[in-house]
């Protein structure tokens, strides 16, 4: 039997792979090109980091991980197993190299360049989700899109200063926000405890159900003629004359014309099979659901000091369910659950929110953890490989994968087709690491 053939193969079926597949297939169809896109997912689509994150579509948080002044703060965090950022102490040359590059990226100039492009792909994505959600709202794959804005709240002066700075940076890029003093904030969001001293409200931000977003976008991709193959793991490659010629998968060999890697935290391992070394580490995050009958928040909330995301889920589908998520634990491929960090998220949310008796008696449920793919400079890798002429990347989106996926897909598609990119592609280029 002859090998399966495909024009363009996207490896990875999370939100990034889904968005790339949709944007690329839509552009090809619009141009009248008959090339077909095939998406391969090693398990089930949307079951990785895309499954149960906070669900925020928040261009106001288009910030890279490394930021000026973060060095000493991060050193303190690294020594505290309950902190928002944690690295388990071990001798790991890969981690050392990643951390060195991370420290080099902590400067004002690079941060502002990163914010510019991360904001652009996030703003495009927000509108793209709105359009897709409108198409899918009467189907079985309603994306759960809601525009409730977003609150940043703080109990300290340092936290309020950080929120004001972020508001200023985003205002420069056309994203409105307004400061709320303590009493105004407590009136605006009654679910908060008086520990808060103030906050910032960004009214244009939205939320979505992350897993439903993956499924909905893939249904749109298939409607355009694309194909999805689940439980198809790529375990090896064959190359000829500087091109990838074949993919060896658990479902047989695939001969390819072009390949896009959208492999998230799996990227470091799979690129090694191509003789490449991309510095993408898995940053473990957790989420859980709690019931809040009496004091369900009206808005998504970021607790600044704890780096905890609180998302009230849609009433019609999820009742009084609230998703809380947080922490970044640089662990590479470790999926183990840390009870200490789970408890820190739950206790941190309880410190700022009015948990009622039912919340306390039932406790958290649907505990989930996933690995966010983190580059050391906090900017995704989007673009063409220098080593293989038919290989492109769209990966390494840190905590911004969901909110920037359609914009990332559009940028990759424009680069792939040789069109003028809608935002500067230079900060995303692969050769900064390849």
Compute the distance between CA of residue 334 and CA of residue 258 in angstroms, rounded to an integer.
Answer: 31
Q: Specify the pTM.
A: 0.94
Compute the distance between CA of residue 139 and CA of residue 129 in angstroms, rounded to an integer.
Answer: 15
| Residue pointed to by tokens 């579509």 | 57
- State the pLDDT at residue 382: 98
Compute the distance between CA of residue 426 and CA of residue 410 in angstroms, rounded to an integer.
Answer: 15
- State the pLDDT at residue 141: 61
- State the pLDDT at residue 56: 97
CA dihedral 61, 64, 70, 71 (to 10 degrees): 160
Q: How many CB atoms lie within 10 A of CB 205?
A: 24
The tens place of each residue's pLDDT in the chain, 434 residues long, gives 678 999 999 999 999 999 999 999 999 999 999 998 999 999 999 998 899 899 999 999 999 988 887 666 666 666 666 677 777 666 778 888 888 898 889 888 999 999 999 999 999 999 999 999 988 776 556 788 999 999 999 999 999 999 999 999 999 999 999 999 999 999 999 999 999 999 999 999 999 999 999 999 999 999 999 999 999 999 999 999 999 999 999 999 999 999 999 999 999 999 999 999 899 999 999 999 999 988 999 999 999 999 999 999 876 566 789 999 998 888 878 899 989 989 999 999 999 999 987 777 778 999 999 999 999 999 999 999 999 999 999 999 999 999 999 999 999 999 999 999 999 999 999 999 98
Which domains, ranges and CATH numbers included, belong to the chain? 4-50+212-279+377-432 (3.50.50.60), 58-93+145-206+281-374 (3.30.9.10)
Compute the distance between CA of residue 44 and CA of residue 46 in angstroms, rounded to an integer.
Answer: 6
Give the pair of three-digit tokens for residue 341.
């960090």
Contacts for 244 with CB less than 8 Å, ≥ 6 apart: 237, 238, 256, 259, 274, 388, 390, 391
């Amino acid at each position: 039997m002859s090998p399966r053939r495909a024009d363009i193969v996207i490896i990875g079926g999370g939100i990034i792979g889904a968005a790339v597949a949709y944007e690329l297939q839509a552009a090809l169809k619009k141009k009248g090109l008959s090339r077909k896109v095939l998406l391969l997912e090693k398990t089930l689509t949307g079951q990785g980091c895309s499954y149960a994150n906070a669900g925020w579509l928040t261009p106001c948080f288009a910030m890279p991980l490394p930021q000026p002044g973060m060095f000493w703060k991060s050193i303190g965090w690294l020594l505290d197993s309950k902190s928002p950022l944690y690295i388990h102490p071990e001798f790991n040359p890969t981690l050392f190299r990643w951390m060195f590059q991370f420290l080099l990226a902590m400067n004002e100039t690079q941060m502002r360049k990163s914010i510019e492009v991360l904001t652009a792909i996030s703003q495009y994505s927000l509108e793209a989700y709105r359009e897709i959600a409108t198409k899918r709202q009467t189907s079985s794959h309603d994306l759960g899109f809601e525009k409730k804005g977003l609150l940043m709240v703080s109990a300290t002066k340092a936290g309020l200063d950080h929120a004001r700075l972020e508001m200023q940076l985003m205002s420069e890029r056309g994203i409105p926000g307004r400061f709320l003093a303590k009493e105004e904030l407590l009136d605006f969001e009654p679910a908060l405890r008086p520990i808060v001293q103030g906050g910032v409200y960004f009214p244009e931000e939205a939320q979505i159900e992350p897993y439903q977003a993956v499924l909905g976008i893939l249904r749109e991709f298939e409607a355009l003629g694309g194909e999805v193959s689940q439980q198809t793991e790529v375990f090896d490659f064959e190359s000829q004359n500087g091109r990838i010629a074949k993919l060896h998968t658990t479902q047989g060999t695939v001969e390819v014309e072009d390949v896009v890697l959208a492999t998230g935290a799996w990227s470091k391992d799979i690129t090694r099979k191509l003789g490449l070394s991309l510095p993408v580490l898995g940053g473990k995050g957790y989420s859980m659901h709690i019931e809040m009958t009496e004091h369900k928040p009206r808005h998504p909330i970021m607790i600044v000091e704890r780096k905890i995301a609180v998302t009230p889920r849609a009433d019609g589908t999820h009742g009084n369910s609230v998703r809380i998520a947080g922490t970044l634990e640089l662990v590479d491929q470790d999926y183990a659950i840390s009870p200490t960090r789970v408890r820190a998220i739950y206790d941190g949310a309880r410190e700022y929110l009015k948990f009622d008796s039912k919340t306390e008696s039932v406790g958290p449920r649907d505990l989930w953890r996933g690995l966010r793919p983190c580059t050391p400079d906090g900017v995704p890798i989007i673009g063409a490989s220098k080593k293989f002429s038919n290989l492109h990347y769209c990966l390494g989106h840190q905590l911004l994968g969901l909110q920037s996926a359609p914009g990332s897909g559009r940028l990759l598609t424009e680069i792939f087709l040789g069109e003028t990119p809608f935002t500067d592609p230079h900060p995303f280029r692969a050769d900064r690491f390849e």
